[in-house]
Amino acid sequence: MDVSPQFFFLMLCFQLGRTSLPLVINTWPFKSATAAAWDALQSSGLVLDAVEKGCARCEIEQCDGTVGFGGSPDETGETTLDALIMNGNTMEVGAVADLRRIKNAIGVARAVMERTEHTMLVGESASVFAENMGFVAEDLTTNKSLNVFTQWLKGNCQPNYRKNVNPDPLKSCGPYGPVAMQTQCNGVRHVNIHSHDTIGLIAIDKDGHMAAGTSTNGLTHKVPGRVGDSPIIGAGAYADSSAGAAAATGDGDIMMRFLPSYLAVELMRNGADPSVACKSAISRIKRHYSDFFGAIICANTTGHYGAACNKAPSLTEFHFMVQNSESDSPVLKSVTCF
């Protein structure tokens, strides 16, 4: 075969560019999630399996108490779950929000994608759908979440996310009614590293097929019905195998207003380095909310990755996990917030 030097050089570049694939990357030091995703990728070769198994691992292990059952009780003491999964090849998405009584939220999200023509199901109806699909309904409350709830009630329901209501949410457990805007004290936002550690996970196979997903139990003491950024496509996560993938974590009420995952992927589509794309997505939010709590991970089509976080009182350094062909186990990485 007559191979020109130019062709040989091109092939070499192609190979070099791909040496770090496959790749699994996820938010926070949730190492067993990375390992579960990597194992799934090795055994089935499917990035959707990797994302589902990785997030499910955190749901089972109740990662940091902020993923899965028994964490983040809402104002009524109930734990509700949000999850999202996206196929970066077909652009199919499945999501659930305000899911009740079902532990495996990422599994239900995948069922929404694969067993309906829809993209997102919410609340009680999502639970009914899940039960019909064979997921077991059980109480998500644990002694731990019950205790968090009881302490909150004893402490006059502080912190509290209500505002412009009567009685004063800084002093009372309600029930609340509306008052004229700004005549009443507002509740104090207490979103920090301990109250919102969503797992966001990206998987890319050796051929560059991408998927991304998230799973969380949301914000502790949230108003019932509150849905954060995690199950919102383009906010919690986004994947497009022709451009890149990203997943975000942090103060979802703020972050979802900026679709940071979508923004980062679009920047990578235009050639931005993954770290730069991640930083730009954070900067966009920072312009309006300078001390918001949040971070994002980004990966491009060649398996290069980066992360960025906003420097906040409760976050100066963000940790995430990576496994690729250069490592035989999950590696802890960190980035300094700016």
Ligand X SMILES: *[C@@H]1O[C@H](CO)[C@@H](O)[C@H](O)[C@H]1NC(C)=O
Residue from 169, 228, 274, 294 binding ligand X (CB under 6 A) = 274
Residue from 241, 301, 310, 323 binding ligand X (CB under 6 A) = 301
Q: CB-based contacts of 304: which residues, under 8 Å, 6+ apart?
A: 20, 273, 274
208-to-109, 114, 166, 212, 243 alpha-carbon distances in Å: 23, 21, 54, 13, 10
- CB under 6 A: which stretch of 68-76, 112-120, 221-229, 296-304 binds ligand X? 296-304
Nearer to ligand X, 301 or 310 (CB): 301
Question: What is d(CA 219, CA 251) in angstroms, rounded to the nearest whole number?
Answer: 9
Q: Does 66 qualify as catalytic in the annotation? A: no
279 is an interface residue for ligand X by CB under 6 A? no
143 is an interface residue for ligand X by CB under 6 A? yes
Biggest CA–CA distance in the chain, Å, is 82
Q: CB-based contacts of 323: which residues, under 8 Å, 6+ apart?
A: 23, 24, 25, 34, 35, 37, 38, 329, 330, 331
Angle, CA 235 vertex, CA 324 and CA 176 arms, to 5°:
135
Nearer to ligand X, 145 or 301 (CB): 301
Is 269 labeled as ligand-binding?
no
Q: Do 17 and 320 touch, CB atoms closer than 8 A?
A: no
145 is an interface residue for ligand X by CB under 6 A? no
- Least Å distance, CB 210 to ligand X, is 12
- In the structure, how many helices (H) and strands (E) does the chain have? 9, 14
Residue of 27, 80, 198, 214 with catalytic role: 198
241 is an interface residue for ligand X by CB under 6 A? no
- CB under 6 A: which stretch of 54-62, 78-86, 268-276, 278-286 binds ligand X? 268-276
Is 100 labeled as ligand-binding?
no
Question: What is d(CA 187, CA 169) in angstroms, rounded to the nearest whole number?
Answer: 5
Is 234 labeled as ligand-binding?
no
- Least Å distance, CB 315 to ligand X, is 25
Residue from 214, 302, 323, 324 binding ligand X (CB under 6 A) = 302
122-to-78, 104, 232, 302 alpha-carbon distances in Å: 15, 14, 12, 35
Q: Are strands 210-216 and 244-250 parallel, antiparallel or unpaired?
A: unpaired
Q: Which two tokens stand for residue 142?
A: 């644990």
- Least Å distance, CB 56 to ligand X, is 22
- Least Å distance, CB 278 to ligand X, is 11
Is 183 labeled as ligand-binding?
no
Is 228 labeled as ligand-binding?
yes
304 is an interface residue for ligand X by CB under 6 A? yes
300 is an interface residue for ligand X by CB under 6 A? yes
Is 251 labeled as ligand-binding?
yes
Q: What is the DSSP letter of 189?
A: -
Binding site, residues?
A: 226-229, 249-252
Kindly list the residues in this chain that would bind ligand X in the complex (CB under 6 A). 143, 271, 273-274, 300-302, 304
Supply the residues annotated as catalytic: 198
